[in-house]
Amino acid sequence: IKKITTHQIQAMKDRGEKISMLTAYDYSMAQLIDSAGVDIILVGDSASNVMAGHETTLPITLDQMIYHASSVIRAVNRAFVVVDVPFGSYQGNSSEALRSAIRIMKESGAHSVKMEGGAEIKESIIRVLSAGVPVMGHLGLTPQSIYKFGTYSVRAKEEEEAEKLVSDAKVLEECGCFGIVLEKIPADLAKRVAEEVSIPVIGIGAGPHVDGQVLVMHDMLGITKEFKPRFLRQYADVGSMITEAVGSYVKDVKSKDFPNEKESY
Ligand code: KIV
Ligand code: NA
């Protein structure tokens, strides 16, 4: 199988082929989604929510991200793997950012990293890129800044924040980022960004006029039941399948139906 590279991801934008991206945090699920043909696998710090049960992405550590990333990497044959640099491990200065990015690359075998923010983290992005590590940007509703925003509602609805976002996207492009995630912003603004920068723009809750889409796997599979924002399309009800299967197992154990003679030695 041919592995996806940043060059192929750029070529997809250039020829108008939409890019598919999905999160994964463990070996078994990464194997399933890689073989299903997803272009980019994101080891998101959303692991803090869906894997660890935290309310925000802030608590997850660099060591924990490396654990998730190395599990995913062992499963992947085709997809390009991006790993989130977690909160608190890059905002300090560019040396801290470089040290964290290098730890992720060396210890997990990941292909690239993603960091949240625009002009504020420009020096860090340049430093990480100069070490040969591809960087993906992330603008809009950046969950590591949730306590600054105070709400998970749509970002950049007002002119000022929208202009700052467009200018940040251009900064990310100039720095040399290979792509940008835009989270929960108006579709028209995302369209403008995708037109004004030449690098791929991947949206989540950013409408259809971008170069690709990303979702959190557990959300699109119907495993995280409570989370139903308007941007989410649920492709399966895996949560109910698991609950039913486990219910049947419990019933069979209790009724002594399991194991039967054929299932015994
Ligand atoms: O952590 C994550 O899952 C993400 C995506 C929502 C883009 O950053
Ligand atoms: Na993230």
Convert the pLDDT of each residue in 90-136 to its tens digit: 999 999 999 999 999 999 999 999 999 999 999 999 999 999 999 99
Q: How far is CA 232 from the centre of its chain?
A: 14
DSSP3 helix / strand / coil % (the chain, rounded to 5)? 45, 15, 40
User: Is the whole model's pTM more than 0.95, yes or no?
Assistant: yes
Residue 73 scores a pLDDT above 90: yes
Q: Which atom of ligand 1 is nearest to the CA of 214?
A: 7
For ligand 1, mutation pick of 22, 183, 224 (most atoms within 8 Å of CB): 183
% of the chain residues with pLDDT over 90: 98
Give me the chain's average pLDDT, please.
98
Q: Which atom of ligand 1 is nearest to the CA of 202?
A: 7
Place of tokens 């299967």: 245
Residues annotated catalytic, as ranges: 183
What pLDDT is recorded for position 1? 79
ipTM surpassing 0.90, yes or no? yes
What pLDDT is recorded for position 96? 98
Q: How far is the CA of 97 from the centre of ligand 1 (A)?
A: 19
Amino acid making up residue 127: R
What pLDDT is recorded for position 226? 85
What pLDDT is recorded for position 67? 98
% of the chain residues with pLDDT over 70: 100
Q: How far is the CA of 9 from the centre of ligand 2 (A)?
A: 19
List CB contacts of 261: < 8 A, sequence separation 6 or more.
Answer: none
Report the pocket of ligand 1 as residue ranges, CB < 6 Å: 23, 42, 44-46, 84, 181, 183, 204, 214, 216
What's the average model confidence in pLDDT over 70-92? 98
Q: How confident is the model at residue 227 (pLDDT cuts 50, 70, 90)?
A: confident
For ligand 1, mutation pick of 204, 215, 219 (most atoms within 8 Å of CB): 204
Pick the CATH number of 6-234 from 3.40.50.300, 3.40.50.1220, 3.40.50.1360, 3.20.20.60: 3.20.20.60
Q: How confident is the model at residue 213 (pLDDT cuts 50, 70, 90)?
A: very high
Q: How confident is the model at residue 247 (pLDDT cuts 50, 70, 90)?
A: very high
By CB atoms closer than 10 A (0-12, 13-18, 19+), residue 176 is middle
Q: How far is the CA of 255 from the centre of ligand 2 (A)?
A: 45
- 45 among annotated binding-site residues: yes
C-alpha distances in angstroms, 21 versus 9, 147, 174, 237? 11, 27, 23, 20
Q: Where are the alpha helices (DSSP H) in 92-184?
A: 94-108, 122-130, 146-149, 159-175
Instruction: Name the closest-CA residue to atom 1, ligand 1.
Output: 44
C-alpha distances in angstroms, 36 versus 77, 127, 211, 232? 11, 35, 20, 20
By CB atoms closer than 10 A (0-12, 13-18, 19+), residue 236 is exposed
What pLDDT is recorded for position 144? 98
Residue 68 scores a pLDDT above 90: yes
- 34 among annotated binding-site residues: no
What's the average model confidence in pLDDT over 202-231? 96
What's the average model confidence in pLDDT over 218-224? 97
The domains of the chain are located at 6-234, 238-265
- 170 among annotated binding-site residues: no
* 51's tokens: 């894997």
